[in-house]
Amino acid sequence: MNSILPQTLERLIEELSRLPTIGRKTAQRLAFHIIRHSPPMAENLASAMTEAGARIRPCQQCFFLAEDELCSICKDQRRRPDIVCVVEDPFDVVAFEKAGAYDGLYHVLQGRISPLHGVMPEDLTISSLLERVAKAQPSIEEVILATSPTVDGDATALYLAEQLRGFRCRVTRIGVGVAIGSSLELADELTLRHALERRQDVE
Amino acid sequence: MNSILPQTLERLIEELSRLPTIGRKTAQRLAFHIIRHSPPMAENLASAMTEAGARIRPCQQCFFLAEDELCSICKDQRRRPDIVCVVEDPFDVVAFEKAGAYDGLYHVLQGRISPLHGVMPEDLTISSLLERVAKAQPSIEEVILATSPTVDGDATALYLAEQLRGFRCRVTRIGVGVAIGSSLELADELTLRHALERRQDVE
């Protein structure tokens, strides 16, 4: 059945199927759409990919996405330089920025420690984080560990907390609990257990 | 919030969001994935798009997707040349081929008549179909109208039946079985096979 499509189209569908959440059928739909509006759409997408692929690199300070040496957040003079939020990947930075509740800096680990998946501390940007905190001492007053509330994320947070023990800065972990606006009914059991354990007095 | 991402990445996300079924969040996820595996992934995708965009064109006979003058189906000597299945778009050809129940040729209308959406008969490949049938007379013995079972698809089929009335060939409409209001592309293989088997003459 594959052979009825032109080769170049098959190749495009194959490349698109490599993307996360894109199955064969969606890839086909996308490819048809792209070439239907082609050449402008194919050209625009291709040039956007080539350019982004060539120009985007990790920020030299926090490893978020940047085109220059520093990302837009590290360059921003209005951000508090005394607090660093450690996250697993750039998605998390975008999520926090969307929430709009944080005005400090970030540190992107580029993953989380997961021996099962072969990810060890040295595969992440942990040494850069420690160097960064050491160099900035004592101007970094707090490091927020915002790795995911999963087994690996928790282990990563624990490991980092251990490594940061020598520095004179507060180390905190983001609160885990029931998501605001969600229904209790939909929360998983582990989250509910955590939410119960970490209950606080109502003033 | 947008401004925290590098410009080239923003552009890539924007281009990706133009694709069907891809919202802002998915586009972002795809873009992150693409540049994370970059440059190879970005380059491969970009070159696949450029190539497909430049080389794919409609088959000169049936308007299915082709790289040469004729598509792989029109070129295939084993296909029956005496029966033509008229579909709305290339997706439908792929769906029928996957069902594996048809060995004739196709004609891709490139849409369906829809005055509400400004699509008139002259915007489709209808005149080419009529010319094709006229030229091939009497070797085309049957034209199957496999436009979608929607109001517009039915209207298109009726219009085509009217136009084809002058030719000495059987004109049939795919059988009931394809779910009303749905798209052919989403139909399962069994439904498509049944629909073909139960096709009826258009009076």
- Residue B11 is nearest to which of A16, A48, A93, comparing CB atoms? A48
Do A6 and B34 lie within an 8 Å CB cutoff?
Answer: no
- Residue A91 is nearest to which of B20, B32, B51, comparing CB atoms? B32
For residues B94 and B100, what is the distance between their CA atoms, to the nearest angstrom? 10
Q: What is the pLDDT of residues B168-203, one digit of tens each?
A: 899 998 875 656 566 767 777 767 776 777 676 776
CA geometry: angle A13, A15, A21, nearest 5 deg: 85
- Residue B90 is nearest to which of A14, A20, A32, comparing CB atoms? A32
- Global ipTM: 0.76
How many angstroms separate the CA of residue B90 from the nearest CA in chain A? 8
For residues B142 and A28, what is the distance between their CA atoms, to the nearest angstrom? 30
- Residue B73 is nearest to which of A4, A52, A93, comparing CB atoms? A4
Q: What is the pLDDT of residues B32-67, one digit of tens each?
A: 888 887 568 888 889 998 898 889 999 999 999 999
Chain B residues within 8 A of A6 when measuring between CB atoms: 52, 55-56, 65-67, 71-72
Average pLDDT over residues B97-120: 92
How many angstroms separate the CA of residue A19 from the nearest CA in chain B? 7
Domain spans of chain B?
A: 7-55, 69-201
Query: Which tokens hold the place of B42?
Result: 């970005």
Do B65 and A21 lie within an 8 Å CB cutoff?
Answer: no
Across B5-9, B68-72, B127-131, least confident range: B5-9
User: Would you state the pLDDT for residue B148?
Assistant: 87
Do A46 and B45 lie within an 8 Å CB cutoff?
Answer: yes
Residues in chain A, pLDDT under 70: 1-2, 38-39, 178, 180-184, 187, 195, 200-203
Do B5 and A94 lie within an 8 Å CB cutoff?
Answer: yes
Do B16 and A45 lie within an 8 Å CB cutoff?
Answer: yes
Chosen from B17, B26, B36, B49 to mutate, greatest number of chain A CBs within 10 A: B49
Please enumerate in sequence order all residues whose Cβ is within 8 A of that of B59, keeping only pairs 6 or more positions apart, or say none: B65, B66, B69, B70, B71, B73, B74, B108
Give the chain B residue nearest A96 (alpha carbons): B1
Average pLDDT, chain B: 87
State how beta strands B200-201 and A142-145 pair: unpaired
Percent of chain B with pLDDT over 90: 56
Q: What is the CATH number of domain A69-201?
A: 3.40.1360.10
Do A8 and B55 lie within an 8 Å CB cutoff?
Answer: yes
For residues A107 and A143, what is the distance between their CA atoms, to the nearest angstrom? 9
User: Would you state the pLDDT for residue A181?
Assistant: 67
Higher pLDDT, B199 or B7: B7
Do A8 and B32 lie within an 8 Å CB cutoff?
Answer: no
User: Would you state the pLDDT for residue A188?
Assistant: 75
User: Would you state the pLDDT for residue A91?
Assistant: 84
Q: Give the class (CATH, top level) of A7-55.
A: mainly alpha
Contacts 24+ apart (CB under 8 A), A195-203: none
- Residue B35 is nearest to which of A9, A53, A64, comparing CB atoms? A53
Do B32 and A73 lie within an 8 Å CB cutoff?
Answer: no
For residues A72 and A57, what is the distance between their CA atoms, to the nearest angstrom? 12
Residue B13 — pLDDT band, cuts 50, 70, 90? Answer: very high
Nearest CA to A178 out of A170, A169, A168, A188 is that of A188
Please identify which residue in the block is written with the tokens 């499509």: A5
Do B6 and A38 lie within an 8 Å CB cutoff?
Answer: no
| Cis peptide preceding B40, ω within 30 of 0 | no
Tell me whether residue B94 is exposed, middle or buried, using C-beta atoms within 10 angstroms of its C-beta: 0 to 12, 13 to 18, 19 or more.
Answer: buried
**Adjacent-strand bridge partners of A83:** A142
Do B20 and A29 lie within an 8 Å CB cutoff?
Answer: yes
Tell me whether residue A122 is exposed, middle or buried, using C-beta atoms within 10 angstroms of its C-beta: 0 to 12, 13 to 18, 19 or more.
Answer: exposed
Average pLDDT over residues B94-110: 91
- Residue A52 is nearest to which of B35, B48, B98, comparing CB atoms? B35
Single-letter amino acid, residue B38: S
Give the chain A residue nearest B12 (alpha carbons): A48
Do B15 and A72 lie within an 8 Å CB cutoff?
Answer: no
Give the chain A residue nearest B13 (alpha carbons): A48
Nearest CA to A50 out of B36, B45, B3, B4 is that of B45
- Residue B187 exposure: Cα atoms within 13 Å on the Cβ side: 32
- Residue B39 is nearest to which of A12, A32, A54, comparing CB atoms? A54
Span between the terminal Cα atoms of chain B, in Å: 60
For residues B145 and B129, what is the distance between their CA atoms, to the nearest angstrom? 12
User: Would you state the pLDDT for residue B1?
Assistant: 44
